[in-house]
Amino acid sequence: MTGIRKRITIGFLSIIVLLFFSGLVSLFELNHMSADIDVILASNRKSIAISEGMLDAIRANDRAVISYAVLRDTTYVDSCRMRLLDFSTQIEQARRETFNSAASLFDSLEASAGRLNGVVEQLRKSRKVENSLLPDSVWGGGATYDGTVWYDEEYMPVYNMASGQILRMLSYAQSSLTPRAERLSRNAYRAVTPVFISLVVMIVILLMFYYFIMIYAVKPIVEMNKSLGDWIRYKLPFTIKAECRDELDELKGKIESVTNNAKLPK
């Protein structure tokens, strides 16, 4: 394959190769970005699930404490103990499944859980709730116990502290995803850049194609057609000023040969 066909084929193959490799690089970067997105979403779901588990456990304990200390339902004594145990289990599980950098937060949360357990255990051992249910003739101190006051002054501050620490842990888990999100942004730029560069290069190549086709193909053909028409109609000499190459140069030579031979006497 020679001449015009070779030049045009090489040009279009260059465009195809350029688009192929730019698409390959973009696909590679998009796969990396997809993996980062999956990691971020999985970490986000995991941190939310862990925080929800701890919040559910501490809220279940709060409901049991309200039933026991405020409503004076002594059947919830064991429930308070079990709910606190469940809360401690949730903390240990969360510690195992999160980064070591959050160890100080878990230490503070475990300390709050211990204080929470201590407040409830102190009330249970004092048997103020049970004694308050007895007639005054049996235990005269029953009237001095107020479950609402105990809940607001003794239990609620520790409960609020523990709940706030759980929310801070959730915020910490979310903030730890920031570097990955920034890397995701860089991957997005890297995925788009090859496509943009290949698009610019392809536009330049197409403009060059347009220029060379107009100069070395269209213009010579137009001039040959006009000059040949003038030779047929007016017997003007067949001459063209455009530069001809390859097959067009051969065609020009053949037409000149035909027109020159036609001038010779028979």
**If you write DSSP's letter for every residue of 53-113 in order, what string do you get?**
HHHHHHHHHHHHHIIIIIS--GGGHHHHHHHHHHHHHHHHHHHHHS-GGGHHHHHHHHHHH
pTM: predicted TM-score of the whole model, two decimal places? 0.59
Does the pLDDT value for residue 86 go beyond 80? yes
- Return the SS3 of 166: helix
Lowest average pLDDT, out of 88-97, 138-147, 163-172, goes to: 138-147
Q: Phi and psi at residue 176, in whole multiples of 5°?
A: -70, -15
Q: Measure the N-to-C terminal CA separation of the chain; round to a whole number of Å.
A: 39
- Return the SS3 of 162: helix
Does the pLDDT value for residue 266 go beyond 60? no
CA-atom Rg of the chain in angstroms: 43
Q: Which residues contact 62 (CB under 8 A, 6 or more apart)?
A: 159
Paired tokens of 86? 């469940």
Does the pLDDT value for residue 265 go beyond 60? no
Cα 122 to Cα 112: distance, rounded to the nearest angstrom: 15
Does the pLDDT value for residue 207 go beyond 60? yes
Lowest average pLDDT, out of 124-128, 195-199, 219-223, goes to: 195-199
Please say whether the dihedral angle defined by the alpha carbons of residues 29, 30, 31 and 35, taken in this order, is positive or negative: positive
Q: Which domains does the chain carry?
A: 15-190 (1.20.120), 201-263 (no CATH)
Cα 262 to Cα 266: distance, rounded to the nearest angstrom: 9
Please say whether the dihedral angle defined by the alpha carbons of residues 72, 73, 74 and 76, taken in this order, is positive or negative: negative
CA angle 130, 131, 132 (to 5 degrees): 90
> What share of the chain in percent tops pLDDT 90?
11
Cα 236 to Cα 245: distance, rounded to the nearest angstrom: 24
Cα 73 to Cα 63: distance, rounded to the nearest angstrom: 12
Lowest average pLDDT, out of 39-43, 159-163, 253-257, goes to: 39-43
The helix-helix angle for 3-65 and 77-97 (nearest 10°) equals 160
